[in-house]
Amino acid sequence: MSHAHRHGTLFIVAAPSGAGKSTLVNALLEREPDISLSISHTTRPPRPGESYGRHYYFVERADFEREIAEGIFLEHAEVHGNLYGTSRTMVQELLSAGRDVLLEIDWQGAQQIRAKAECVSVFILPPSRAELERRLRGRGSDAPDVIERRLRNSREEIAHAHEFDHILVNDDFEQALDELQSIVHAVREGRGSAGDRHQVLIDELLDAGHG
């Protein structure tokens, strides 16, 4: 087996709901064909339009629990009564083939992965609390209590931003996308990029007052 090709990098991206993570990630994948999105395993039934292996690997709960016991997953979590997990084997295969892998995850999953694998982690912040609220309400699909819960949860998630290697603010979309792409390029070229830790913004987002 030749070791001439570069080994891929595992990128993990987390953000509170409403920070625009999925849109950014999808745009990055368009620009960077060498990055594969990690497809999670889940015990929840497919929604209309979802297909096996493209959106999720849909598995039976008994199989999933057996795989947890066998240590198949880099991380797993139970969300609203359904299990979700990232397969270590699948990620390893892609990385060994020299492909970068990107995983959209929450801060808890990110903690599990950091403990088990080399990775580069990115946390995406909204530009302000007001903007986060505006984006969540602007979806029009969520009930007010769901929005309130997401706003409350966002505070807990943002409190973990400092655990990530990179923090970027999704204020101007194109700019945030460029920043995300430059993190990927820096890693590929073996340069570290320090980047702004956005401490002032984080303090502001965590401030419980609604000033």
Q: What is the dihedral of CA 168, 171, 175, 177, to 10 degrees?
A: 60
Residue range 125-174, pLDDT digits in tens: 999 999 999 998 887 778 889 889 989 899 999 999 999 999 999 999 99
Q: Does the pLDDT at position 210 exceed 80?
A: no
Domain 10-38+99-206 sits in CATH at 3.40.50.300
Share of the chain above pLDDT 90, in %: 76
Residue 1: band (very low, low, confident or very high) from pLDDT cuts 50, 70, 90: very low
Closest CA to 36 of 84, 102, 87, 89: 102
Q: Does the pLDDT at position 2 exceed 70?
A: no
pTM to 2 decimals? 0.89
Contact 126, 19 (CB under 8 A): yes
C-alpha distances in Å from residue 200, one per residue of 125, 128, 187, 197? 12, 11, 26, 9
Mean pLDDT across 13-17: 93
C-alpha distances in Å from residue 32, one per residue of 99, 139, 211? 11, 28, 40
Residue range 164-177, pLDDT digits in tens: 999 999 999 999 99
Residues in the chain: 211
Query: For the chain, first and last CA: distance in Å?
Result: 60
Beta strands in 4-99 (DSSP E): 10-14, 35-37, 40-42, 56-58, 73-79, 82-87
Longest dimension (CA), the chain: 60
DSSP-assigned letter for residue 119: -
DSSP element (H, E) containing 55: none
Q: Can you give the pLDDT at residue 5?
A: 66
The strand pairing partners of 168, in sequence order, are 124
- State the Cα–Cα distance between residues 180 and 140, nearest whole angstrom: 28
Mean pLDDT across 192-211: 82
Q: Can you give the pLDDT at residue 68?
A: 95
